[in-house]
Amino acid sequence: ASVYQYFDGGVVQFCLPMIVGLLLAGVVPALFAYLIGLPVLRLKSDYLAIATLGFAEIVRSILQWGKLGPVTNGSNMLKSFTRISNFKIGTFSLSTFVPVLIAVVSIGLIVMLVNSTYGRAFKAIRDDEVAAEAMGISLFKHKILSFVISSFFSGVGGALFAMYVANAQAKVFTSTMTYEILLIVVIGGIGSVSGSVIGTFLYVACSEWWLRFLDRETYIGSFKVPLLRSGFRMVVFSVVIMIIVLFFSKGIMGEKELSWKGIGGLLKKRKKAAPAAEKED
C-alpha cells in the first residue's frame, strides 16, 4: 500500500507520497539555509553562532505568527500526516525498519561526502581557515555548501521526528534542541560520523532509559532513599556529561571512525589471544 504524507494547516492542504514529502522536508530548509547563509556565513566564530541562532528564532516566531495562521496554521499542531506506525506490509509492521533504513542511507551519504574532495576541503577549513584559503579553497563557497547540506539532513530528521511523535509544532524546536544536538556531537567526537552515532545512542539511552530509575521514589523498609525523585535523573546525567567533556576533550571517538577493517582486526587479536591464554593455563 502506498504511504502518503498529509499536511493540514489552513490554506496549505495537500497530499504527497511519503518519499517526496521527506525530500521536500530537506529541500525547503536547504533553500532557507542558502538565503540565510549569504549574509551570515561571512561572519566568524561567536558572531556566526549568534546570527544563526537569531535567524532560527526569527523563523520560528514567523511560523507561529497569528496573522499567518491561515497559511502556516499558527501555533496549532499539524497532525494529519503519515506516522511511523503507518508503515506496514499487510499485517507486518515496518515502523522500525523504515526509519532505520532512512538513517542508514543518510549516514552513508554523509560518509561518502566526508571522503570526497569536498569533504577534504571541509576538513581543511575546520582545521585552519587561513591555511585552507592559502591553498586556494574558497571559504565562502564551501561554508555555504556545508550549511545547505547539513540543513537538508536536518530537515529530513525533523520530518522523521514529526512522524514519530505524530505531530509538528513550531514551539517544540527551540534553542534547547540545538544544545542537545551539540552535546551529542561533543560526546561522540567532533570530526567523527560514527562518534556522532554512538553519542546519539548514549545520549538518548541515558536520558530516556538507563537513568529512569533515579526519578522514582524508593523505600528500603520504612527508610526513604534520599535524592531519588522526579528530575534527579537529569542532574546525574549532567554530571556524566561534565565528566565526559573534562576527561574526553575530543569526545569518545575524537576524529577516528569505526570501520569493518578495524573491527575485524580487533576480533582477530582476541582470537589470537585466546589460544595463547589456554597454552599458559
**What does the pLDDT average to over 57-76?**
73
Residues 6+ apart with CB under 8 A from 80: 6, 7, 8
Asked if 78 and 167 touch (Cβ cutoff 8 Å), the reply is yes
- Per-residue pLDDT, 148: 92
pTM above 0.85, yes or no: no
**What does the pLDDT average to over 24-38?**
89
Residue-wise pLDDT for 194-205, tens only, equals 888 888 888 888
Residue-wise pLDDT for 238-278, tens only, equals 887 788 778 777 778 877 777 656 555 545 555 665 555 55
Using 50, 70 and 90 to split pLDDT, how confident is the model at 152?
A: very high
Backbone angles phi, psi at 15, to 5 degrees: -125, 135
Asked if 199 and 185 touch (Cβ cutoff 8 Å), the reply is yes
Residues 6+ apart with CB under 8 A from 26: 151, 152, 153, 155, 156, 159
- E-assigned strands of the chain? 4-9, 12-17, 88-89, 92-93, 219-220, 223-224
